Structure 1
Amino acid sequence: MSITEPVTATIVPRPAVAALPSYAAGKPPKPAEGLTPYKLSSNENPLGPVPAAARAAAEAQGLHRYPNPFGEALRAELAAHFEVRYDDVVTGTGSLGALTQIITTFAGTGEDGAADEVIYAWRSFEAYPIVVGTAGAKDVPVPVTPQGRHNLEAMLAAITERTRVILLCTPNNPTGPALTHTEVTEFLTKVPSDVVVVVDEAYLEFVRSPDPVDGLALYRQFPNVAVLRTFSKAHGLAGLRVGYSIAQQSITEHLRKAAVPFGVNAVAEAAAVASLRHIDEVYARVEKLVGERQKVTEALADAGWQIPETQANFVWLPLGAKSLDFAQAAGVQALAVRPFAGEGVRVSIGEPEANDRFIALCRTYSGLPGVA
């Protein structure tokens, strides 16, 4: 049967969309003879969900029915678990979906036709400029320090009368360092009260620093704070796409207008609720990954690498121009890592064998640029 070629035409998107970078997800590993391939490119939890969550997903009923419109069962569970108000919780398709709700609600194009501004550290989560640009707002990236940390003073200096949202990613993806509660509290006292500050805590459970950010305490103290969290990392439910934000009702009453109805599906909601009810098992799995993280970071230090202090489930190799070369070398070893051309390579903490193979590669790789 012959295929008739369709009539073609030039379809042009909005200029803001045409200018956006494309999101680059972590690629799967390529097989190599005699080696088990491992994906260390997407910050996934290699241990998977706790058994109760897996069972809840497998046994979910009523798949021919629409799920709860706004994740009501999960919101109730989260409210009870964190001792927050039910109306302060808004669910989304992963923390990225929850973030999109916030940006769509509070940043875009003003009545005067000028773009609102959103400040964030850079390099940070690569979806930030995409979400901001899609909303029609102007992104204001503030370079991280040589140690891969947020430069909070520079972020404060970047605030203008057009600033609507500030994003704090802690621990920072992809560099790894976490902010402290003390410095974020001081930062918030200097931010105008009408600017929404998003504390993105996607990797919260992996933090072991002496003064960790307490997002819930910040949300209770500062009405302009929105805490962003996910079930993709510590809970091992990345494939089900479920996250949430917690903020005071002056924020959430507007977020619910922008939330996509039925955004969290029935399977995801059931699994997330079950995972919360078995949180001790979740923490036990996280502790195993933290132990592997310590093994990796100590081995890299012994091999002469100088990397940012990571509080997440990944490490950052500041390889600069050698980033793509290192990723290729990892590929030969059946390891998929996440290179950022000209900047560095992010490597997730994976299975023990994968981590051992990564360490072995780092011990033999030449040229070890470090962090001052």
Structure 2
Amino acid sequence: MTSSSNPAPGVRPRAVVDRLPRYAAGKPPVSVDGLDSYKLSSNENPLPPLPAVLAAIASRTDFNRYPDPLSSRLRAVLAEFLKVPAEDIVTGAGSLGALNQVLSTFAGQDEDGVPDEVIYAWRSFEAYPISVGLVGARSVQVPVRADGSHDLAAMAAAITPKTRVILLCTPNNPTGPVLTAGQAEDFLRQVPSDVVVVIDEAYQEFVRVPDAVDGLQMYRQFPNVAVLRTFSKAYGLAGLRVGFSVAQQELTQHLRVTATPFAVSQIAEEAAVVSLENFDQIVERVQSLVDERERVVAGLRALNWFVPQSQGNFVWLNFGADSEEFAALAGREALSVRAFKGEGVRVSIGEVEANSRFLDLCANYTKVPQGS
């Protein structure tokens, strides 16, 4: 028997695995004497699930049974909530799980082993290159503009006959800006009808820009659009992993084939349903976080710092080479933030005290983010 510490010689992962970037989850804060610690590194909702949700999931005892593989109850509630057919909804383990279903269905390699191409803005959600690489496709990364927004003209110019999927992250994680409805519609009219366009709206509930794109409106207009949404952020259910895609049945008929069976557990489905049934309370909680986001942005701009138009539950500071230094200083204040080496720092909106401490740190930091 071979010991786990002495793997069998010659055993290697697929070649692509060595080329993939490693996903770096937000680190927990370090303990500092005299200070409460706060995690601002993972875009989590600092508020717990609704009391009604906690009560509902506490009563579940049927975990000896597999969940409904189609999440039929949740899809029915979502269909009514979103005013879309239930057949147009495919659930997954968070919006990332839903994205992986789209990629594994529509992108990979052709019969000759030539990789398909997936276009997306960069920097954007760091799981994109990992997910694209794992299905065997090639990432085509189009740099975001100086203000952190998508360069849609450059993305349209990057389309080739090998393009199979385009990812639009709005609000863009980690930079924050949204696409407007006009921008999205103009772009979609330039995309060939056989290319799937994914509109990733993980932070949609936090958006307050009047002319922001509504992915559901685009999906109704364009049969090649798939919209991603999640219960991880606004609903505070990140640990339960429940998300979904919305697309016309021209796409969903294939997505159901590749969907991971039983990806959404009974407890996750129950929590999502009860959250939707109490959506008025979700709205109040989200607004409290939006108010905090606006307070943080105003505080940073009062320091004459450049802050991209943030419409998620986070802000982006383009510190470039100083990013890791700033993150280390935050750590000494018992705040964990997410540094992207050589690029910038993303800071999630957290508890009021955490946000205030972050602003105090910034007020005493002498290096100004780039772009100001």
TM range (shorter): over 0.9
Aligned to 1:20: 20
Query: What root-mean-square deviation, in Å, do the aligned CA atoms of Structure 1 and Structure 2 show?
Result: 1.2
Alignment of 1:136-151 (within 5 A): 136-151=136-151
Aligned to 2:33: 33
Matched residue type, 1:256: R
Aligned to 2:80: 80
Paired with 1:208 and 1:274, the residues of 2 have a C-alpha distance of 25
Structure 1 residue runs without a partner (length 5+) = none
Alignment of 1:226-265 (within 5 A): 226-265=226-265
Shift of 1:7: 5.5
Aligned to 1:63: 63
Deviations 1:261-300 (A, max 9, x none): 1110010000000001111110100000000001100000
TM-score normalised per structure 1:
0.98
Paired with 1:37 and 1:275, the residues of 2 have a C-alpha distance of 28
Whether contact under 8 Å (1:70, 1:263) holds in the other structure is: no
Shift of 1:83: 1.3
Paired with 1:275 and 1:243, the residues of 2 have a C-alpha distance of 13
Aligned to 1:123: 123
- Cα gap change, 1:371 to 1:6, in 2 (>3 Å): closer
Shift of 1:47: 1.1
* SS of corresponding position for 1:67: coil
Paired with 2:143 and 2:251, the residues of 1 have a C-alpha distance of 28
* SS of corresponding position for 2:141: strand
Shift of 1:187: 0.6
Decide which moves more: 15-24 or 197-206: 15-24
* SS of corresponding position for 1:305: coil
Structure 2 residue runs without a partner (length 5+) = none
Paired with 2:342 and 2:180, the residues of 1 have a C-alpha distance of 29
Aligned to 2:351: 351
Aligned to 2:176: 176
Aligned to 2:283: 283
Whether contact under 8 Å (2:119, 2:158) holds in the other structure is: yes
| 1:225 is aligned to 2:230 | no
Matched residue type, 2:143: P
Aligned to 1:111: 111
Paired with 2:7 and 2:115, the residues of 1 have a C-alpha distance of 36
Deviations 1:157-210 (A, max 9, x none): 000000000000000000001110111011111110010000000000000112
Matched residue type, 1:259: A
Deviations 1:109-132 (A, max 9, x none): 012321000000000000000000
| 1:91 is aligned to 2:91 | yes
Matched residue type, 2:123: R
- Cα gap change, 1:321 to 1:79, in 2 (>3 Å): same
Whether contact under 8 Å (1:44, 1:232) holds in the other structure is: yes
Decide which moves more: 8-17 or 62-71: 8-17
Whether contact under 8 Å (2:28, 2:336) holds in the other structure is: yes
Whether contact under 8 Å (1:240, 1:267) holds in the other structure is: yes
Paired with 1:254 and 1:135, the residues of 2 have a C-alpha distance of 16
Deviations 1:84-121 (A, max 9, x none): 11110000000000000000000000123210000000
- Cα gap change, 1:248 to 1:5, in 2 (>3 Å): closer
* SS of corresponding position for 1:328: helix
Shift of 1:12: 1.3
Paired with 2:56 and 2:215, the residues of 1 have a C-alpha distance of 28
- Cα gap change, 1:301 to 1:164, in 2 (>3 Å): same
Aligned to 1:43: 43
Paired with 2:22 and 2:10, the residues of 1 have a C-alpha distance of 20
Aligned to 2:367: 367
Matched residue type, 1:365: Y
Matched residue type, 2:144: V
Shift of 1:54: 1.8
Matched residue type, 1:223: P
Whether contact under 8 Å (2:203, 2:313) holds in the other structure is: yes
* SS of corresponding position for 1:147: coil
| 1:207 is aligned to 2:202 | no
Whether contact under 8 Å (1:307, 1:370) holds in the other structure is: no
* SS of corresponding position for 2:189: helix
Matched residue type, 1:258: T
| 1:322 is aligned to 2:322 | yes
Matched residue type, 1:18: D
* SS of corresponding position for 2:315: strand
Shift of 1:212: 1.4
Paired with 1:133 and 1:6, the residues of 2 have a C-alpha distance of 28
Aligned to 1:334: 334
Aligned to 1:274: 274
Shift of 1:4: 9.7
Matched residue type, 1:345: V
Paired with 2:179 and 2:53, the residues of 1 have a C-alpha distance of 31
Whether contact under 8 Å (1:38, 1:335) holds in the other structure is: yes
Paired with 1:21 and 1:5, the residues of 2 have a C-alpha distance of 24
Decide which moves more: 51-60 or 196-205: 51-60
Matched residue type, 1:42: S
Percentage identity across paired residues of the two chains = 60
Whether contact under 8 Å (1:90, 1:244) holds in the other structure is: yes
Whether contact under 8 Å (1:171, 1:203) holds in the other structure is: yes
- Cα gap change, 1:287 to 1:24, in 2 (>3 Å): same
Paired with 2:129 and 2:70, the residues of 1 have a C-alpha distance of 26
